[in-house]
Amino acid sequence: MSYPYQIKTLEQYHQAYKESIEQPEKFWADVASSFQWKKKWHNVLDWNFKEPDVKWFEGGKLNITENCLDRHIDELGDKPAIIWEPNDPEEHHRVLTYKNLLFKVKQFANVLKNNGVKKGDRVCIYMGMIPELPIAVLACARIGAIHSVIFGGFSSQSIADRLHDAQAEYIITCDGAYRGAKDIPLKSVIDDALIACRFVKRVIVCTRTRVPVSMIKGRDVWWEDEIKKVETQGNPDCPAEEMDAEDMLFILYTSGSTGKPKGVVHTIGGYMVWSAYTFVNIFQYQPGQIHFCTADIGWITGHSYIVYGPLLAGATSLMFEGVPTWPDAGRFWDIVDKHSVNILYTAPTAIRSLMSFGLEYVNSKNLSSLSVLGTVGEPINEEAWQWYYKHVGKERCPIVDTWWQTETGGVMISNMANITPQKPTFATLPVPGVNPCLVDENGTEIHGNEVSGNLCIKTPWPGILRTTYGDHERCRLNYFSAYNNMYFTGDGCLRDVNGNYRITGRVDDVLNVSGHRIGTAEVENAINMHSGVVESAVVGFPHDVKGQGIYAYVISEGHHEDAELTRLDIIQTVSRIIGPIAKPDKIQFVSGLPKTRSGKIMRRILRKIAEGETSNLGDTSTLLDPGVVEEIKSGAL
Ligand code: PRX
């Protein structure tokens, strides 16, 4: 396997970057020609950010699974595509070669067809991190169905909302999932979701924990039984459906500043080129290396850098079922040692958590196979960066700090391992094809260096989101209306004297808790559903391990019990409505919220108090009742 588009020197990076901005069509046509198309595109790029309307490789026909699997078989058929490491280190790991994986994808694609799934249908996947998850994802892509993977930590209510939004009639799930010491009853969460989703026709259940599950006649079937049916039908083949470059590949829900998650839509051709290009270049992947991305496939990082990016590059992708701290805080290092992992890609929150357990776990393992480290999901603090560099990479391995988003499909700003310089806490330079700029509140571009502002992108890259499912206007309003003719990221950012970018965090009402994006409005909606709550306001506060924690100010009607019990009830409510990831860390009961005369909550004040700042609260004279601030200050947690 060779990558004609792999950048090999700093000069080549500058050259590629320049060309990608000056002649994007030529640049991306060259990259795209390394892939297998059933029919070539007639137009590389057509775009406007007004509507928005972005089309890459128009007229091109392809199937992404042929690019991930079939085309590698001659050269890499017996090489590992996926190495699966289970939750429990006592259980055997599994290796799927490219041949095995293709066979299983075709087989399960036939199961989907037997169960009535057709091109364009939306299939919701709610599974634990077992190999059947990427198999299900790829089987959907094989037949042109649109997958919508939902992270296993979301509640039945969240799933029901997503099923409704996507009108997904098919679900693939597991009986349960292992996560550290816990068994999560996935199927029963689905059962609860389906009470309100009568349109779901079929639930395919894969066995993992074998907890008792209720299987409803006519609706629920076992994965294993369905595979047997396909086997007895005798034809293991499943030709790849011919898809248009701009057909939808997947929907992935993510939080924004409103109460309702958005279904971010990615299409096939552009996402394929972008995920492969960024994977090969950022990590400087070399054939034969083992790439371990610790994310869950329920998030974009898992889509792009466990499944699609690595498989498109014919790489070996290691996927892990468990958590970093079980059975002990050496689990990642165990896996690196056992499988001689070369590239480790994880989140700052995991690094901070592992740091707190001391060096004994990391020093007792052989990490000499590592050559590249990466981080994603949130800003990395200097201390965590240094620890990762020194104790994990032994000062040998570059750390790529990759800034990107669900909406961008792949990495946008990052150093490239051993090619472009790293700078701790900086994502550094844009990937070729990415045209970033900083703007002030009026939307005026801020030129020059040593400046900060809101981060926007001026021109489309192949992996840009195309719409938000079922509501294109929402896509326009969210991303393309704040600033004229630009994609607005929602992040604040500074540019240093050398043009390196450092992301400083969200500037909208979105929190980043342990690298998970959570809208404050979503959490408020969930808190407000508790019967004793009148109103609430949620803000973030700095948290040593999670990056940000969730701080809720709650007005509650005379709790019939003590405040602590009400607090626990509220936490339980949020857990039921969204999922455990959105549980508030702190709940302060207040008698009022600081509001302007027009009724707007002054979050700036609440944020400051949550951060422990009580003196410098800025102008409070526009408040309806300035007295409320004193009360909140004195009760701060
Ligand atoms: O605020 C940025 C932060 O995560 C947000 C995107 O979240 P999500 O769509 O869930 O995708 C996460 C994985 C790509 C961004 O708006 N973020 C992501 N990576 C970084 C980051 N902040 C700072 N540095 C990063 N490397």
Residue with structure tokens 């209510």? 157
**Three-class HEC string of 321-342:** CCCCCCCCCCHHHHHHHHHCCC
For residue 391 and ligand 1, the question of a CB distance below 6 A is answered with no
Q: String of b and e for 140-154 (b: at least 16 CB within 10 Å)?
A: bbbbbbbbbbbbbbb
| Per-residue pLDDT, 562 | 84
CB 584 within 8 A of CB 571: yes
For residue 175 and ligand 1, the question of a CB distance below 6 A is answered with no
C-alpha distances in Å from residue 231, one per residue of 30, 106, 380, 581: 41, 11, 49, 40
Cα(86) to centroid(ligand 1), Å: 27
Query: Which residue owns the Cα nearest ligand 1 atom 22?
Result: 378
The number of the ligand 1 atom at minimal distance from the alpha carbon of 402 is 26
| Per-residue pLDDT, 560 | 65
What are the pLDDT digits (tens) for 525-547?
Answer: 999 999 999 999 999 999 999 99
Distance CA 174, CA 155 (A): 15
Say how many C-beta atoms besides its own lie within 10 A of residue 364's C-beta: 11
Structure tokens at 574: 């949020």
Residues 6+ apart with CB under 8 A from 620: 594, 602, 605, 626, 629
Domains and CATH numbers, the chain: 66-241 (3.40.50.980), 510-634 (3.30.300.30)
CB 526 within 8 A of CB 577: yes
| Per-residue pLDDT, 257 | 82
Nearest CA to 65 among 113, 104, 96? 104
Asked if the model's pLDDT at residue 551 lies above 90, the reply is: yes
Average pLDDT of span 73-96: 98
The SS3 of residue 115 is coil
Asked if the model's pLDDT at residue 618 lies above 90, the reply is: no
User: For residue 558, what pLDDT band results from cuts at 50, 70 and 90?
Assistant: low
The number of the ligand 1 atom at minimal distance from the alpha carbon of 413 is 26
CB 435 within 8 A of CB 425: no
The SS3 of residue 35 is coil
In a mutational test of the pocket of ligand 1, which residue from 431, 468, 491 has the highest number of ligand atoms less than 8 Å from its CB? 491
Asked if the model's pLDDT at residue 587 lies above 70, the reply is: yes
| Per-residue pLDDT, 235 | 77
| Per-residue pLDDT, 65 | 98
Asked if the model's pLDDT at residue 90 lies above 90, the reply is: yes
Nearest CA to 548 among 385, 403, 379? 379
Say how many C-beta atoms besides its own lie within 10 A of residue 38's C-beta: 12
The number of the ligand 1 atom at minimal distance from the alpha carbon of 414 is 26
For residue 256 and ligand 1, the question of a CB distance below 6 A is answered with no
The number of the ligand 1 atom at minimal distance from the alpha carbon of 506 is 1
Residue with structure tokens 């059975």? 327
| Per-residue pLDDT, 623 | 85
What pairs with residue 538 in β-bridges? 552
Residue with structure tokens 């709650």? 554
Strands (DSSP E) along 150-222, which ranges?
A: 170-174, 177-179, 182-184, 202-206, 220-222
Structure tokens at 300: 């974009």
User: For residue 521, what pLDDT band results from cuts at 50, 70 and 90?
Assistant: very high
- 455: part of which helix (H) or strand (E)? strand 451-457
Query: Which residue owns the Cα nearest ligand 1 atom 18?
Result: 377
Query: Which residue owns the Cα nearest ligand 1 atom 12?
Result: 377
Cα(546) to centroid(ligand 1), Å: 14
Query: What sign does the dihedral 557-559-564-569 (CA atoms) show?
Result: negative
User: For residue 620, what pLDDT band results from cuts at 50, 70 and 90?
Assistant: confident
The SS3 of residue 183 is strand
Average pLDDT of span 460-489: 97
pTM of the model: 0.97
The number of the ligand 1 atom at minimal distance from the alpha carbon of 299 is 10
Query: What sign does the dihedral 138-141-142-145 (CA atoms) show?
Result: positive
Residues 6+ apart with CB under 8 A from 358: none
Distance CA 118, CA 116 (A): 6
| Per-residue pLDDT, 104 | 98
For residue 56 and ligand 1, the question of a CB distance below 6 A is answered with no
Average model confidence (pLDDT) across the chain: 96
User: For residue 559, what pLDDT band results from cuts at 50, 70 and 90?
Assistant: low
Asked if the model's pLDDT at residue 361 lies above 70, the reply is: yes
For residue 406 and ligand 1, the question of a CB distance below 6 A is answered with yes
Distance CA 238, CA 142 (A): 8
Residues 6+ apart with CB under 8 A from 203: 170, 171, 172, 173, 187, 190, 194, 216, 219, 220, 221
Q: What's the Rg (C-alpha) of the chain?
A: 24
Distance CA 112, CA 109 (A): 5
Average pLDDT of span 570-586: 96
What are the pLDDT digits (tens) for 252-289?
Answer: 999 988 888 999 999 999 999 999 999 999 999 999 99
Asked if the model's pLDDT at residue 401 lies above 80, the reply is: yes
Structure tokens at 625: 């009742």
**Three-class HEC string of 216-284:** CCCCEEEHHHHHHHHHHHCCCCCCCCCEECCCEEEEEEECCCCCCCEEEEEEHHHHHHHHHHHHHHHCC
Structure tokens at 613: 């700042």
For residue 401 and ligand 1, the question of a CB distance below 6 A is answered with yes
For residue 303 and ligand 1, the question of a CB distance below 6 A is answered with no
Asked if the model's pLDDT at residue 621 lies above 90, the reply is: no
> Is the model more confident about 307 or about 600?
307
Structure tokens at 106: 């075709």
616 by Cβ neighbours in 10 Å (0-12 / 13-18 / 19+) ranks as: exposed
Asked if the model's pLDDT at residue 225 lies above 80, the reply is: yes
For residue 20 and ligand 1, the question of a CB distance below 6 A is answered with no
Distance CA 476, CA 459 (A): 15
Residue with structure tokens 């293991």? 236
| Per-residue pLDDT, 557 | 84
Cα(377) to centroid(ligand 1), Å: 4
Residues 6+ apart with CB under 8 A from 139: 105, 106, 108, 109, 111, 112
The SS3 of residue 306 is helix
Distance CA 197, CA 204 (A): 16
